[in-house]
Structure 1
């Protein structure tokens, strides 16, 4: 079972969409969290420990979690998806981007 963690700022639209899209896939478990103190679900040490691969929507999310959890991230794969904060939850274009980008990483490891 591969465990995917999706991270955005407020855990409102992008990361919950990633969780929803990927948690239905065979062999995948998915969670989502946010980096903001105002996030619906704030990222925690437990989330980092749980995840095999972490997908962040923007570089700033990677910088924030690296600043907050440097030791925990030493052996973790963190991928920046470069998906801007301009989508609503389950927006079809967002779903397509998340599907394609994450599938590419899972298939190639890059």
Structure 2
């Protein structure tokens, strides 16, 4: 039996978009999820350990992907960093945000499986 796909959702403060995604996908069969923010004062700040734990990083915007690639170079392969293009225009669990996440996340992660180089 393979372990769940580990997904970390990333935004700036980890209070609205990435936290909504974590809550929304928390009970998705075959996934283990977490969320973090790129700012030092985020609710849960992004760390190298979180990225090394993850099989995929789902970034809300290009600038979050750039932080992952720059500050945490090598923690996660580029082909496992997904950018959704969701701006910071939504409140926590806003219906429009939920719709965007449901439309974009499963499709972008469908082809991924757990990284073979990680321990179970």
Class of the TM-score when normalised by the shorter of the 2 chains: over 0.9
Q: Structure 2 regions of 5+ residues with no counterpart?
A: 113-120
Q: Deviations over 1:19-50 (max 9, x none)?
A: 01111111111100000111111001111011
TM-score by length of 1: 0.92
Question: Distance in 2 between the 1:20 and 1:102 partners?
Answer: 13
Q: Would you say 1:28 and 2:37 are equivalent positions?
A: no
Q: Secondary structure at the match of 1:42?
A: coil
Q: Stretches of 4+ moved more than 2 A in 1?
A: 73-76, 106-109
Question: Distance in 2 between the 1:8 and 1:36 partners?
Answer: 9
- From 29, 37, 57, the equivalent of 2:40 is 37
TM-superposed deviation, 1:76:
5.6
Q: Would you say 1:46 and 2:49 are equivalent positions?
A: yes
Matches within 5 A, 1:1-110: 1-74=4-77, 77-108=80-111
- For the aligned residue pairs, the C-alpha RMSD in angstroms reads 1.3
The higher radius of gyration belongs to 2
TM-score by length of 2: 0.85
Residue 116 of structure 2 corresponds to: none
Residue 117 of structure 2 corresponds to: none
Q: Structure 1 regions of 5+ residues with no counterpart?
A: none
Q: Deviations over 1:60-88 (max 9, x none)?
A: 00111211111212366001100000100
